[in-house]
Amino acid sequence: MKMVNTAMSRPLLLLFLTAFLCLPVVWAGEDDPKVTLKGHVPSEVLKKAKDLGLLDPQQYLFLTFSLPLRNKAHLKATLEKLYDPQNPAYGQYLSPKTFRDRYAPTVAETREVIRQLAHLGLSARKVSSNRLLMEVAAPASVIQKALGVEFHRYQFQGRVFHASPWEPKLPKYLAKRVLAISGLDDAVKRVPRITKPSMVDQVLMASVQGSGPQGGLSPSDIASAYNLQSISATGTGQMLALLQMDGFNQSDITFYQQYFNLPAIPVETILMPGATGFPGSNADEVTLDIELQMASAPGISRILAYEGPNTNAGILAIFSRIANDNRAKTVSTSWGLSEMDSTTSFMKSENQIFMQMAAQGQTLFAASGDAGAYDTTVNNKPVLSVDDPASQPYVTGVGGTRLILGAGQSYGSESVWSNGANQSGGGGGISQVWPLPDWQQTVTTKASNTMRNVPDISLNSDPATGYSIYYRGGWTVLGGTSCAAPIWSGFAARVNQQRIANGLPSLGWFNPTLYKTAQTLRYNNDFHDITQGNNLYYSAGPGYDNATGWGTFLGAGLFQDLTAQVKVPQTITPDATATLIWGQSITLSPVASSGLLVQIVSNTPAICTLNGAILTGVSPGSCLLTLSQSGSSSFLPATDVIMTINVIEPLYKAPLKRLKTASMGALGHLVSDPVGIDCGTYCENYFTQGTSVTLTATPGTGATFSRWRGACTGRNPVCKVRLGISKSVTAIFR
């Protein structure tokens, strides 16, 4: 296990901040009106808590200021292009530097915030590399004065925490440069979405479940039940990332690998400031995540375990680091919190980072919660609520099912996971924060037509049908949507391996692709449609539902559809040319939207001929051309375009003289140079007086040229006529 400590050294920090403090600035005046930053008070939690009085004014607090994105509308438009297979920008994901340069606050804007905060007595300690997060530390008394808040100590469920019942305020000039402030409270702790089987469940498990220790599902059970066995891709070359708030014992991971004969996949722990890497009370969550990622994608090159403190600021620091590192294209988190117990300011801060991850082609799976449709309580009564970050639009929320194995560890049946006795089940419902995203608009079976619906997908999560996990030197069986999210991330790693091999980009932000794929005739080939049960409120049904989303993956089928080469339609734009003078040539240049070469064929060679792209008019009339493009590995064949060009006779300058020609017996053909005569029996045309016209007589099949009569004489089939006056010529063939 490799550990990396990311704490910035003091000399480097001073250099970094000095770079921001080198230009003059206009301070917000004392009379600058204050603006309230809404969405920072954890009001639902404070309603349940007991106020213990004021916080010690000398207590040091650590805040994180979130700075707003620039050009957010442009970013949204960019994301639409990146995930539209018919757009030339499809899959052209941004690097962290490109994202920062286009959409993060500028260096000057960031410097301005640092100086304005210093004017309020708040010193910036660190700015994230994407310039979206700024860390500040100060005594509570200084923060209270600077932000117009008042810190109290509260107690709830045996925990003492601090919070302010007042929203923060900033001078108007500074407020427009700050999106949110995290760290004004530590009212809530994220809960790992992990569940252990009851005693009754443990009795039943041995007869109905897996081949793993204590009757839990083993890696081979997961593969056989969810149809992964025929997939040759195992995640080779892919890295997976995990957001964690606790450590683990490497010895547990090693034993799990060896017991199930899995490759020795390295785990690299990346520590945020405030994290130790040592296993604590929630180490079972971390262990489970790692082992199930290995079980579902045994060929991956590495697992990156990003660990930080269990605070709002800690969560933002972890997600920001995962995005800025951009090492793993697939990320999973099993830690969550009800939207109602969080604050809108914090969720907006998360959302910016999730947009960055989407722009960079990173996929994020999040467990949707283990309390069914009731993710929190009010006055000790369950309340309909959904989990953050699973409800975020740039995150794929993973719900829970109950899987029953069939013969030979095959897929038997599946229903919604729920247990009314202990109020547990797969999280799902309606967001109170995020409006209905575009990719859910066409779903007819969703519970809400105005707000984001959760979850998007599911997988086995019932602890009674759970997974064998080796933890603290022994085997246990665990469940919860904490199990579903890392397995989906492992499946995505296998998909990404094959997509790259097929010349496709990584999955990236999964939701647009997921919903498009699920709404095709191949739905039942790709997903187990869960139609039985409920999550304590929302019932399952055909297609999408708010209990299990689209259902669970039917591995090989969904793998095939997610890795199939996406061919982009193309169109052909013909030349604008409408006419061509008889005897002249032009170069055609039709354009295919793909940029590929367009093939041109003349359908009327008697009117017009082609030499490559050079078109020559050989006779008056309608020249018909077929333009085609046969496609490539990336583009579908274009629809043929029929192009019409009128070949017209030249207009000679006056004064004009007439030349009449005839072919005796209609046994041959006459043409002139310059053009104007082209016939087998009788022709006439007008040429500029004084023009020398060359006539060529060509006998037909079985005939011979005999001689000329009229203005031409002799037996040479080529003659010249000078039109000082109008003349007539006859070619005699035998």
- pLDDT score at 528: 98
Domain boundary among 165, 182, 199: 182
- pLDDT score at 390: 98
Same domain membership, residue 630 and residue 603: yes
CA pair distance 336, 454, nearest whole angstrom? 14
Same domain membership, residue 65 and residue 34: yes
What end-to-end distance do the CA atoms of the chain give, in Å? 100
Tokens, residue 299? 């060929």
Quote the Cα angle for 235-288-400, to 5°.
Answer: 85
Residue 84 lies in a domain: no
For every residue of 579-621, DSSP letters joined together read: EEETT-EEE---EETT-PPPEEEES-TTTEEEETTEEEE-SSE
**Contact present, 363 and 510 (Cβ < 8 Å):** yes
**Contact present, 480 and 400 (Cβ < 8 Å):** yes
Task: Give bridge partners of residue 475 from the DSSP assignment.
Answer: 470
**48 exposed, middle or buried (CB, 10 Å; 0-12, 13-18, 19+)?**
middle
Same domain membership, residue 342 and residue 448: yes
Same domain membership, residue 445 and residue 309: yes
Q: Closest Cα to residue 609, out of 627, 591, 624, 589?
A: 624
Strands 727-733 and 705-710: antiparallel
The CATH number linked to 368 is 3.40.50.200
Same domain membership, residue 675 and residue 610: no
Residue 643 lies in a domain: yes
- pLDDT score at 193: 72
Same domain membership, residue 156 and residue 44: yes
**Contact present, 43 and 323 (Cβ < 8 Å):** no
Amino acid at site 392:
Q
Positions in the chain whose pLDDT score sits under 50: 1-26, 28-29, 199-208
Domain total in the chain: 4
CA pair distance 613, 617, nearest whole angstrom? 13
Residue 74 lies in a domain: no
Residue 331 lies in a domain: yes
Strands 668-673 and 678-679: antiparallel
Query: What is each CA distance from 443 to 372, 515, 545, in whole angstroms?
Result: 22, 8, 9
Q: Closest Cα to residue 297, out of 248, 228, 244?
A: 228
Residue 385 lies in a domain: yes
Query: What is the 8-class DSSP label of residue 539?
Result: B
CA pair distance 625, 134, nearest whole angstrom? 64
The CATH number linked to 631 is 2.60.40.1080
Same domain membership, residue 594 and residue 513: no
Same domain membership, residue 360 and residue 456: yes
Element (H, E) at 335: strand 335-338
Same domain membership, residue 414 and residue 344: yes
Same domain membership, residue 168 and residue 311: no
Same domain membership, residue 364 and residue 458: yes
Domain boundary among 530, 546, 563: 563
- pLDDT score at 667: 86
Residue 591 lies in a domain: yes
**Contact present, 290 and 251 (Cβ < 8 Å):** no
Residue 91 lies in a domain: no
- Write down how long the chain is: 734
Q: Closest Cα to residue 239, out of 293, 180, 317?
A: 293
CA pair distance 714, 719, nearest whole angstrom? 9
Domain boundary among 631, 648, 665: 648
Instruction: Give the domain extent around 642.
Output: 572-648
Within 10 Å of residue 630's Cβ, how many Cβ atoms? 12
CA pair distance 604, 609, nearest whole angstrom? 8
Q: Closest Cα to residue 89, out of 409, 361, 446, 305?
A: 361
Residue 163 lies in a domain: yes
Query: What is the 8-class DSSP label of residue 465?
Result: G
Secondary structure string (H, E, C) spanning 307-372 = ECCCCHHHHHHHHHHHHHHCCCCEEEECEEEEHHHCCHHHHHHHHHHHHHHHHCCCEEEEECCCEC
Same domain membership, residue 542 and residue 623: no
